[in-house]
Structure 1
Amino acid sequence: MRFRDGQWLVAEGVRIEYAEEVYRITPTPSGKGISLLCPTRKVMSRGDTLNLGTLSIDIEAAFDGVISVETTHWQGAIRRGPDFDLFPAGRPDVDAKITKTEAGTTVSAGGLSATVSGKPHEFDVSFHPTAGGKPLTTLLNRSVGLAYTPAPSSPMQLADTRIFKHYLFTQTTLSVGESIHGLGERFGPFNKVGQKVDLWNSDGGTSSDQAYKNISFWMSSRGYGVFIDTPERVELEIGSERCCRVQTSVEGQRLRWYLIYGPTPRDVLRRYSVLTGAPGRVPSWSFGLWLSTSFTTSYDEETVNTFLSGMKARDIPVEVFHFDCFWLKAFQWCDFEFDKDMFPDPQGQITRLKADGVVKKVCVWTNPYLGQASPVFAEAAAKGYLLKRKNGDVFQWDLWQTGMGIVDFTNPAACAWFVSCLERLFDTGVDCIKTDFGERIPSEDVQWFDSSVDPKRMHNYYTFVYNKLVYETLQKRYGTDEAVLFARSATAGSQRFPLTWGGDCESTPEAMAESLRGGLSLGLSGFAFWSVDIGGFEGYPPPWIYKRWVAFGLLCSHSRLHGSNSYRVPWTVDDDDQSDEGCSATLRKWTHLKARLMPYLFSQAQACVGAGLPLSLRAMCIEFPDDPTAWSLDRQFMLGDSLLVAPVFEEDGTVQFYLPEGSWTNFFTHEVKNGPGWFTETHKFGTLPLYVRPNTLLVLGKEGEKRTVYDYASDVEVRSYYAREGASAILVDNQGNKLGKLEVKNGEVVGSEVLTGEFRITVVNA
């Protein structure tokens, strides 16, 4: 929200009060920080302490490299939930140090410090590395404040605050050339400087400034990140109100955020995952191809059988088949009952599909809404399982489903009922769940079962409790590391419940680029795994777009064919073109390639979970933070540590991409290009710019491998790309357990005793 009209004027209808100086510094109750008493005008005499507001700013050491900053106006405001589930693996100890010199008072948390200027009548808080060096960011004059709208003309009017909105805001400085990234799955420009961003989950598609996954965390190219610790609406002006500042504002009496020091993006993400939770593990089978019925298409048991037999006949392995919405009876979404007119024997059908070997796993679409036409609506309403209005009515609207109610997950009985519905699906043979929706949660005229929660905070937080419940139910049934979601909405911490996909995109190259930007931003928000609707969701993709999207989608961590009102099996896209450049042949090539990459991908996946890193899409700046160009690249990505991917967006196959410093090797041709520099290539549908980073040992499945799950140490090929002394690759089995380590020592690859079968080691580049 903008509170000013340019640099000199306050916006019409707004009153602002700033923290003008630090009047007093005292220790915080924890002993790990300091509390600043900041009057909203300079206190030059005792009389100046009367009839004015103050802001309290608590600066505390959270853990090594992380400091929290909490600003409060009125301390008596009730602290309503829900709150983010922080430090889920336990809070690390911190060696908090507070020192005072003539220059000021410093709070240190290991490698990060905050220094409050000791100059009289000044407000200046600098965040900097403890060991010295340039400041990361600063709270300067008139950078912390409160605002009222409409502007009261007299303090007496604030005896009744119901007619006023009260905001708190902070403004951290933006340095020259600094860029800002993350904030969830955002589809607009990769660098957020110059943008206004509202963190409020919305079902807005991929071609707007709205987002399904609003994550209150951003990363700076200057070596730090900021996590805003509230699930309520957060409004950011990122160099868009004041060009040299990032403004964060919330409606309320408190605002807390954590500054997270790197100095590298990897360090920032690792510390962020300590704070909000590490990404959950995913099973190896989930990396295979997922095939969907699509959304509003007409399908029944015969349709499903035809799709899967057609894929098998074309040598395109399908790991997971997904039944989208119309496995349920129309108007009854989502009551967890197969439409018996279309699927008279769902358990038998699923059993037969698996026995025939045309698919390994089955997924179904769900959401937390219940249409009133369903026979179970009356029961759910009567038992208090649904969200209510303040007058006691069930909250209903005709948005999405007629008379739709919303499951109230603050009610333990509603949670137990929802779990029982899921368990019946598991009994039918369902292995994983697509948890759609969770964004359109009302925040006005609602009463939750847990009356202590704030409806405005529940709007974004709802997706966390929804996906957590489903994920943990899957874990209980199938095992801790066998649970998989396909979720659309998310908030901070949702990375613990993988995985997510990019939402509703159009079938255009522009939408493919939008989706790529969304995946990059989400990866910089702590999410390890991500997918996209291959071919685009809306519309009828022409064959060339479908094939380009196949190449992109099979090099995401997870790969799903899904559409809206048209099928995504390849032969329906190009009238079953049988040529080597047809849709079927293209899908087959890329599906087989991903299968062959599995020893590398699954090993990388384990490392990503441990470090809070994205597997794919991984922004180039994570791997090359010292290359200024890497912070602007939004049409390419890293797949793990060692593979660079540049999707093709042009019909004629031309693509421009950037290679950082070093000798990079084309995966397909072994041609070498030396960076840094920009390159242009032209590709048919079976290739794209896929380059191997120098100093890499790349472990691949055997030539012709088609399976997703196999022995990742047997019959493999180990390729050496300019591998120097110490270059290594970790080998894991298909459960993610470490088997051993290959390493270059004295010019030879050692550790091969863990390999079995007819393995080979190929030196691609010496």
Structure 2
Amino acid sequence: MKFTDGYWLLRDGVEACYPADAYQITAASDSLTVHAPVRRIERRGDLTTGPVVTVRCTSPMPEVIAVEITHFEGVLARGPQLALRRAAADGVEVSVDDEAAVLTSGSLAVRFSRGDTWRMDFLAGGRVLTGSGAGGMAVIQADGRPYVREQLDLGVGHQVYGLGERFGPLVRNGQTVDIWNADGGTSTEQAYKNVPFFLTDAGYGVFVHHSGKVSFEVGSEAVARTQFSVAGQSLRYFLIHGPTPKEILRRYTALTGRPARLPAWSYGLWLSTSFTTSYDEDTVSSFIDGMAQRNLPLSVFHFDCFWMREFHWCDFTWDPRTFPDPPGMLARLKARGLRICLWINPYIAQQSALFAEGRDHGYLLRRPNGDVWQWDRWQPGLAVVDFTNPAARAWFAAKLDALLDMGVDCFKTDFGERIPLDVVYHDGSDPERMHNHYAYLYNQVVFDLLETRRGRGEAVLFARAATAGTQCFPVHWSGDCEATFDGMAQSLRGGLSLGLSGFGYWSHDIGGFIGRPEAAVFKRWIAFGLLSSHSRLHGGWSYRVPWAFDEESVDVLRAFTRLKMTLMPYLARVAEEAHTDGLPMMRPMMLEFPDDPACAHLDTQYMLGDSLLVAPVFTADGDVRYYVPEGRWTSLLTGTTVTGPRWVGERHGFDSLPVLVRPGSVIPVGAVDDRPDYDYAAGVVLRVYPSPGAKHVITRIVTPQGEPAAVFTVDRHEGLTRVTASRPVPEWSVLLVGEPAPASVRGAVPEDVTDGVLLRSLPGELTMEARQ
């Protein structure tokens, strides 16, 4: 929210007070509290008027400092509020002298100046990261409503990222962002997934611990500051030190929760009926038969809205007119090796049999006068499930549990953004604070059920709405994008922004949702979609089977689906990093190359894990321009090389796009190309890519369950290449990419290939050497 009218004035109806003096300081062993009057205390009479701003600093974990700014402390605390995973750090130090008061956690410190000018700085290793100076921190009255505002210095050339899944430019500088979930598609400033967390390339990130609306002015109201404000009498935020963007994400997700480990089968291709299309079992079978006849690997089949009857969403009952035998149908599909996903949402239409049940038992949101809250958007007379009611949570979960008994494997948890404010919650939650947090509770109920029934590591959602903490319940997809190249680019920007907000996995509708894509758009989107964390063919009003476009679409889908399956030994390791470290599988270039200024604004390409650069093609003719960081990079598809740093312009057919391997990488390629869940170590080929500086490279292979399977070490010294396995692995091989045939080989038989030399290990042998 903007409060000022230029530099000198406040807007009409706004009154602001700013801390002026760290007048009184209370130091404890683990906290520092500053009582700051809004005017300098020159005489005793100055003590009789307020306000006084209280600033309390603590630390939940090393390298993270919490700052709570409070005006009136008598306001009742109303939930919800995201529960944090860390409570208090060890080794916090507090010191106070005549010049400053300082709280230190690890190498991070917050320092309050005791001079004539108000100043609060955050330092790491003695270097100032950012700070709040005179006129920054404030308690405000705007149109009769109280607010608390903070402004942190934004250094020259420093960039801000994150704040959820946003579809505009990746860098937030110059933008105004309201953290408020909305069902607005991917082509506006609204977002389905709003997260009050940003990170910078200046060594720190900020998480505002507030479930309701948070307004951010990123170098916009005050162009040299990042501003954030909330309505009410207090504001709490966490300053998170890196220094690298990866370390900031690790610490943020350690505080708010990390993504769950996902089942290996979820990384395969998902095929949907699409949104409002007409379908029955024969239609579904024709899609699956068509995929099999064309040798298109398929892992999951998704039933969208009309598995239920019209006007009955959601009653969780199959439409008997089109699906007379759901258990039999599901058994037939599962006999073909498929997993099953069903579309659901948290709304109960008036015509649903569950409406009266929910109304009579108090499971639905009510207006202050006791009426059930209803409206006619989406479904006539729909009501909203009250997930703050434990009985309603159990009731909703029981309906899904019956579907799991029937053979369903997972759910697409659609909607959850348009949550009303004129309601009363069962637990007394503040409706404004619950608006965003509702998505957390909704997805938590479904995910917890799946984990209970399927076990940890086997639960997966396809969710749209989210907020802080909802990253724990993956996967999330981008929502309603236009079936155009613009829509494709918007989706990518949203996914990269979400990854910088703590979400490890992300997907999108291949081909776009709104409208029917041209064949060129569909084929380009296929390549992008299969080089994403999760891959789903889905649309709005038309089917997305590839033969509905042209035969080349079939070929393109086959090639990239099989490519992704062979990359599973690599992708599984990257996915494990999402689970253990909170790092996204699809990474903005700046996350891997924070010291390369050319990467700061890039949002039309990304790193898939730490080793693969992917540049989707956003044109029908195949023209693409992308940036290559320093070193000699190698095309995964063709073996050709390009040396950076520089910009590259190329033209690609529909069966190709730039996928470059980072210098010095070892990419494990699996022996299976028709399913994502297999023994990743058996028959693996380690593709070793040269780099002058890569002398010792370790690549880990995990099982489909995320457990360690093998560790391969590649050592290069004075022309000698040695590859060692940590345990016996049958029939593993090494491909020295782009290198001449070795002069001698021990424990392997060399085989010429198009882009290098293949060295095949002998069964059970642990060490292999090849002298160059």
Would you call these one fold, judging by a TM-score over 0.5? yes
| TM superposition shift of 1:753 | 6.2
Match of 2:420 in 1: 442
- Residue 710 of structure 1: which of 655, 673, 678 is its match? 678
SS of equivalent to 2:195: strand
Distance 1:653 1:583 in 2: 15
Q: Is the 8 A contact 1:696 1:728 kept in 2?
A: no
Match of 2:630 in 1: 661
Match of 1:125 in 2: 120
SS of equivalent to 2:705: coil
Match of 2:770 in 1: none
| TM superposition shift of 1:714 | 1.0
1:431 aligns with 2:406: no
| TM superposition shift of 1:172 | 0.4
Distance 1:449 1:105 in 2: 44
1:727 aligns with 2:697: yes
Match of 2:33 in 1: 35
Identity of paired residues, percent?
A: 48
The Cα offsets for residues 283-320 of structure 1, whole Å up to 9 and x where unpaired, read as 11000000000001111111100011001111111100
Q: Is the 8 A contact 1:388 1:395 kept in 2?
A: yes
- Residue 374 of structure 2: which of 396, 405, 427 is its match? 396
Q: Is the 8 A contact 1:334 1:369 kept in 2?
A: yes
SS of equivalent to 1:466: helix
| TM superposition shift of 1:101 | 4.2
Match of 1:752 in 2: 725
Q: Is the 8 A contact 2:615 2:659 kept in 1?
A: yes
- Residue 481 of structure 2: which of 492, 505, 514 is its match? 505
Match of 2:761 in 1: none
The Cα offsets for residues 2-52 of structure 1, whole Å up to 9 and x where unpaired, read as 100000111112111111222111125xx3121111112222111112222
Match of 1:154 in 2: none
| TM superposition shift of 1:672 | 1.3
Distance 1:475 1:569 in 2: 31
The Cα offsets for residues 537-582 of structure 1, whole Å up to 9 and x where unpaired, read as 00010000000000001011000000000110011123xx3xxxx1
| TM superposition shift of 1:658 | 0.6
The alpha-carbon distance between structure 1 residues 388 and 16, as it changes in their structure 2 partners (threshold 3 A), is: same
The Cα offsets for residues 158-178 of structure 1, whole Å up to 9 and x where unpaired, read as xxxxxx211110000110011
- Residue 458 of structure 2: which of 464, 482, 495 is its match? 482
Query: Counterparts in 2 of 1:137-148, with a 5 A limit?
Result: 137-148=130-141
Match of 2:76 in 1: 78
Distance 1:382 1:171 in 2: 48
Amino acid aligned to 2:370: G
Q: Runs ≥4 in structure 1, deviation > 6 angstroms?
A: none
Distance 2:202 2:595 in 1: 10
Distance 1:739 1:715 in 2: 13
The Cα offsets for residues 361-413 of structure 1, whole Å up to 9 and x where unpaired, read as 00000011000011221111111110000000000001111000100011111
Match of 1:601 in 2: 571
Match of 1:634 in 2: 603
Match of 2:763 in 1: none
1:57 aligns with 2:55: yes
Match of 1:181 in 2: 161
- Residue 466 of structure 1: which of 442, 456, 481 is its match? 442
Distance 2:621 2:167 in 1: 25
Distance 1:749 1:77 in 2: 66
Q: Is the 8 A contact 1:63 1:95 kept in 2?
A: no
Distance 1:418 1:105 in 2: 51
Q: Is the 8 A contact 2:346 2:385 kept in 1?
A: yes
Distance 2:434 2:724 in 1: 52
Distance 1:389 1:118 in 2: 50
- Residue 493 of structure 2: which of 509, 512, 517 is its match? 517
Distance 2:166 2:248 in 1: 20
Distance 2:590 2:10 in 1: 37
- Residue 257 of structure 1: which of 232, 237, 244 is its match? 237
Structure 2: give runs of 5+ residues left out of the alignment.
Answer: 740-772
Match of 1:7 in 2: 7
1:371 aligns with 2:365: no
| TM superposition shift of 1:179 | 0.7
Match of 1:107 in 2: 103
- Residue 688 of structure 1: which of 647, 657, 661 is its match? 657
Distance 1:492 1:696 in 2: 33
Q: Is the 8 A contact 1:86 1:275 kept in 2?
A: yes
| TM superposition shift of 1:752 | 3.1
Distance 2:279 2:510 in 1: 19
Q: Is the 8 A contact 2:27 2:96 kept in 1?
A: no
Match of 1:276 in 2: 256
Amino acid aligned to 2:126: G
SS of equivalent to 1:415: helix
Q: Is the 8 A contact 1:553 1:559 kept in 2?
A: yes
| TM superposition shift of 1:765 | 4.0
| TM superposition shift of 1:149 | 2.2
| TM superposition shift of 1:261 | 0.3
What do you get for the CA RMSD once the two structures are aligned?
Answer: 1.2
Q: Is the 8 A contact 2:569 2:668 kept in 1?
A: yes
Match of 1:556 in 2: 532
The Cα offsets for residues 232-266 of structure 1, whole Å up to 9 and x where unpaired, read as 10001111101001111100011000000000011
Match of 2:755 in 1: none
Match of 1:329 in 2: 309
Q: TM-score, normalised by structure 1?
A: 0.94
Distance 2:554 2:376 in 1: 40
Query: Counterparts in 2 of 1:273-352, with a 5 A limit?
Result: 273-352=253-332
Q: Is the 8 A contact 1:168 1:254 kept in 2?
A: yes
1:193 aligns with 2:173: yes
| TM superposition shift of 1:756 | 3.7
| TM superposition shift of 1:603 | 1.4
Q: Is the 8 A contact 1:713 1:755 kept in 2?
A: no
Distance 1:381 1:751 in 2: 64
| TM superposition shift of 1:102 | 4.6
| TM superposition shift of 1:274 | 1.1
| TM superposition shift of 1:62 | 2.4
| TM superposition shift of 1:608 | 2.2
The Cα offsets for residues 498-519 of structure 1, whole Å up to 9 and x where unpaired, read as 1100000000111111110100
Structure 1: give runs of 5+ residues left out of the alignment.
Answer: 151-163
Q: Is the 8 A contact 2:167 2:186 kept in 1?
A: yes
Amino acid aligned to 1:712: Y
SS of equivalent to 2:447: helix
SS of equivalent to 1:337: coil
Distance 2:685 2:515 in 1: 41
Match of 2:759 in 1: none
Which stretch of structure 1 is more off in the superposition, 664-673 or 173-182? 664-673
| TM superposition shift of 1:751 | 2.8
Amino acid aligned to 2:653: K
The alpha-carbon distance between structure 1 residues 178 and 393, as it changes in their structure 2 partners (threshold 3 A), is: same
Match of 2:743 in 1: none
Distance 2:675 2:534 in 1: 15
Q: Is the 8 A contact 1:720 1:765 kept in 2?
A: no
Distance 1:341 1:630 in 2: 54
| TM superposition shift of 1:685 | 0.9
Distance 2:673 2:343 in 1: 30
Q: Is the 8 A contact 2:253 2:502 kept in 1?
A: yes
SS of equivalent to 1:727: strand
The alpha-carbon distance between structure 1 residues 93 and 19, as it changes in their structure 2 partners (threshold 3 A), is: closer
The alpha-carbon distance between structure 1 residues 441 and 100, as it changes in their structure 2 partners (threshold 3 A), is: same
Distance 1:200 1:7 in 2: 28
Q: TM-score, normalised by structure 2?
A: 0.94
- Residue 708 of structure 2: which of 731, 738, 747 is its match? 738
